[in-house]
């Protein structure tokens, strides 16, 4: 029996209605930018497996470091103990984070990184004797699937069973350049009428909203308004972090730095699940007290797992390397050339790019998981390219290590896909 057949007995896949989507393709190995299925067919991983393995799959520089670490220290409780991989990672990460980020708190995935920031924000105010109960988020944001992260994400038909149990969140539109003043007014009004603890946002690019890019100055004004009103700012860089936007972190494009940054996905180069919530010294100091209850009593079992820390360290080393930085430039330029070629195509409604993130909207209305999406997905897979269209958007977010020739193959598959669209 194939993996695809055996899978059906016991496995329940994420984000899947199994009655409609009964089949999961068996993947047997991955190397560099390629995935290999159980029939031996290869696919370019055009979305770096949800933008995690940005240095290519099974990158030997990373796997060797992790394999070595495995022989030395596999796992230890991080409450009361510390270890070299975590200490080294803290030094390396703080050196590339925006300068105001000084303290790192570990968890296990992007959702928990956001939950940690939310809990810290509430407790920061609470510890100061100022109990607050409201969060602000963008209408079309995505921050994860745990309760806190889900609460600050956009509302969708999938939230139905849970909405009554959400945290108190007020949603505002993303600034698009033309509505900036209105959105700031709305924010001011929300802050005036509620006890707002924090504002949660994906800086510059909203991944799950089909790589929606919004106005930098608008965001800057919102952050300024938050600062003036003692509302903490939580930058969810789970998608944008580690070089994708053209800088190490999207927050670097903004003059006003956030109080928290949430990181996961590419943090560990796609090797192991881990997340970090960083924050300022000021946040940390609000928990530092003789009173034990003012501490942050939150912890996950695999906190700062040494193997995951080692993968993260190796990833940061690669990110800073000339090779990877040079290749990022190549990808950025290459996307720009492709954009020139494709943006006036009659079946393309619009295109956008931020760093190595490239997205194009098809000139067609369709359901997010409608038939066209399935047709496009199949087309790409037939062509040996793994892309995952979202709604009427096709986006590319390939590993930094991709070659020009491999990029061309992705572009060709998109060009031929446009012929399928009526």
Ligand X SMILES: *Cc1c(COP(=O)(O)O)cnc(C)c1O
Binding residue numbers: 50, 110-111, 236, 265, 299-301, 388
Write the CA distances from 361 to 161, 173, 358, integer angstroms: 31, 20, 10
Question: In the bound complex, what is the minimum distance in angstroms from residue 113's beta carbon to ligand X?
Answer: 7
Q: Given the complex with ligand X, which of 51 and 124 has the nearer CB atom?
A: 51
Task: Name the segment binding ligand X (CB under 6 A); options: 212-220, 234-242, 383-391, 406-414.
Answer: 234-242
Q: Does 239 bind ligand X (CB under 6 A)?
A: yes
Four-CA torsion 358, 364, 369, 373, nearest 10 degrees: -70
Decide if residue 200 touches ligand X (CB under 6 A): no
The stretch near ligand X (CB under 6 A) out of 59-67, 141-149, 218-226, 393-401 is: 141-149
Closest CB to ligand X among 187 and 274? 274
DSSP-based helix, strand, coil % in the chain, nearest 5: 40, 15, 40
* In 291-356, beta strands by DSSP E: 348-354
Q: With CB under 6 A as the rule, give the number of residues binding ligand X.
A: 14
CB of 259 vs ligand X, minimal distance in Å? 17
| Cβ distance to ligand X smaller for residue 111 or 127 | 111
Which CB atom, from 111 or from 278, has the smaller least distance to ligand X?
111
What is the nearest approach in angstroms of ligand X to the Cβ of residue 288?
Answer: 28
Candidate ranges 38-46, 233-241, 296-304, 394-402; the one touching ligand X (CB under 6 A): 233-241
Strand ranges for 245-402 from DSSP E:
260-263, 275-279, 348-354, 357-362, 385-386, 393-396
Stretch 321-360: interaction string toward ligand X, x if CB under 6 A: ----------------------------------------
Which helix (H) or strand (E) segment holds residue 170: the answer is: strand 169-172
Q: Which is nearer to ligand X, 51 or 386 (CB)?
A: 51
Please give the Cα distance from 212 to 227 (Å, whole number).
25
What are the beta bridge partners of residue 357? 354
In the complex, the smallest distance separating the C-beta of residue 123 from ligand X, rounded to whole angstroms, is 21
Contact 65, 314 (CB under 8 A): yes
Q: List the interface residues with ligand X, window 262-321 (CB under 6 A).
A: 264-265
Q: Would residue 246 be called left, alpha or beta, if left means φ above 0 and alpha means ψ between -120 and 50 degrees?
A: left
Q: Is residue 238 within the footprint of ligand X (CB under 6 A)?
A: yes
Site for ligand X, residues 147 to 166, rule: CB under 6 A:
none
Tell me whether residue 203 is exposed, middle or buried, using C-beta atoms within 10 angstroms of its C-beta: 0 to 12, 13 to 18, 19 or more: buried
One residue of 202, 215, 259, 406 binding ligand X per CB under 6 A: 202
Report the 10 Å Cβ neighbour count for 12.
Answer: 6
3-class state of residue 8 by DSSP: helix
Q: How far is the CB of 14 from ligand X (least distance, A)?
A: 9
Alpha-carbon distance of 357 to 289, in angstroms, equals 43
Q: Cβ 199 to ligand X, closest distance in Å?
A: 15
Residue 144 interacting with ligand X (CB under 6 A):
yes
Q: What is the CA radius of gyration of the chain?
A: 22
Least spacing, CB of residue 236 vs ligand X, in Å: 5
How near is the Cβ of 325 to ligand X at its closest, in Å?
23
Binding residues for substrate: 50, 265, 299, 388
Residue among 249, 209, 16 nearest 8 (CA)? 16
Q: How far is the CB of 404 from ligand X (least distance, A)?
A: 27
At 415 the three-state DSSP class reads helix
The span from the CA of 285 to the CA of 298, in Å, is 17
Q: Residue 137 or residue 319: which is nearer to ligand X going by CB?
A: 137
Q: Which of 45, 215, 236, 406 binds ligand X (CB under 6 A)?
A: 236
Query: What stretch of H or E contains 198?
Result: strand 196-201
Residue partners of 227: CB distance under 8 A and separation at least 6: 233, 256
C-beta of 54 vs 114, nearer to ligand X:
114
Q: How far is Cα 254 from Cα 243, in angstroms, rounded to an integer?
A: 15
Residue nearest ligand X by beta-carbon distance: 110
User: In angstroms, what is the minimal distance from the CB of 309 to ligand X?
Assistant: 17
Binding residues for pyridoxal 5'-phosphate, by number, are 110-111, 236, 300-301
CA count, 13 A, side-chain hemisphere, 387: 33
Binding mask 87-116 for ligand X (x = CB under 6 A): ----------------------xxx--x--
Binding site for ligand X (CB under 6 A): 109-111, 114, 142-144, 202, 207, 236, 238-239, 264-265
């Amino acid at each position: 029996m194939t993996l695809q057949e055996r899978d059906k007995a016991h496995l329940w896949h994420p984000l899947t209605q199994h009655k409609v989507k009964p089949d999961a393709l068996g993947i047997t190995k991955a190397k560099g930018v390629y995935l290999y299925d159980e029939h031996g067919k290869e696919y370019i991983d055009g979305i770096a497996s949800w933008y995690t393995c940005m240095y290519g799959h099974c990158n030997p520089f990373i796997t060797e470091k992790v394999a070595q670490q495995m022989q030395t220290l596999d796992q230890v409780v991080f409450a009361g103990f510390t270890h070299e991989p975590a200490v080294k990672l803290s030094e390396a990460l703080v050196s590339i984070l925006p300068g105001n980020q000084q303290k790192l708190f570990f968890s296990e995935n992007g959702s928990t990184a956001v939950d940690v920031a939310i809990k810290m924000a509430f407790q920061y105010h609470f510890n100061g004797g100022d109990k607050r109960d409201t969060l602000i988020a963008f209408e079309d944001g995505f921050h994860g699937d745990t309760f806190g992260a889900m609460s600050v994400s956009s509302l969708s038909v999938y939230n139905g069973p849970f909405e009554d149990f959400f945290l108190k969140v007020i949603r505002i539109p993303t600034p698009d350049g033309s509505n900036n003043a209105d959105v700031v007014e709305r924010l001011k009004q929300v802050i005036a009428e509620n006890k707002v603890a924090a504002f949660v946002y994906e800086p510059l690019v909203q991944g799950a909203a089909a790589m929606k890019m919004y106005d930098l100055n608008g965001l800057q004004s919102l952050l300024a308004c938050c600062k003036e009103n003692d509302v903490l700012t939580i930058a969810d860089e789970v998608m944008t972090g580690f070089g994708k936007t053209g800088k190490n972190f999207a927050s670097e494009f903004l003059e006003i730095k956030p109080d928290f940054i949430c990181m996961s996905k590419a943090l560990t180069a796609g090797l192991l699940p881990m997340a970090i919530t960083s924050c300022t010294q000021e946040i940390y100091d609000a928990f530092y007290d003789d009173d034990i209850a003012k501490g942050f009593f939150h912890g996950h079992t695999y906190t700062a797992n040494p193997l995951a820390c080692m993968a993260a360290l190796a990833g940061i080393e690669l990110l800073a390397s000339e090779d990877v930085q040079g290749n990022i430039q190549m990808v950025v330029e290459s996307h720009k050339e492709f954009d020139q070629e494709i943006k006036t195509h009659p079946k393309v409604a619009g295109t956008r790019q931020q760093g190595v993130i490239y997205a194009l909207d098809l000139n067609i209305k369709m359901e997010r998981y409608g038939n066209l999406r399935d047709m496009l997905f199949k087309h790409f897979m037939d062509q040996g390219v793994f892309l995952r269209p979202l709604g009427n958007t096709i986006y590319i977010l390939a590993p930094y290590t991709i070659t020009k020739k491999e990029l061309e193959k992705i572009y060709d598959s998109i060009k031929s896909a446009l012929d399928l669209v009526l």
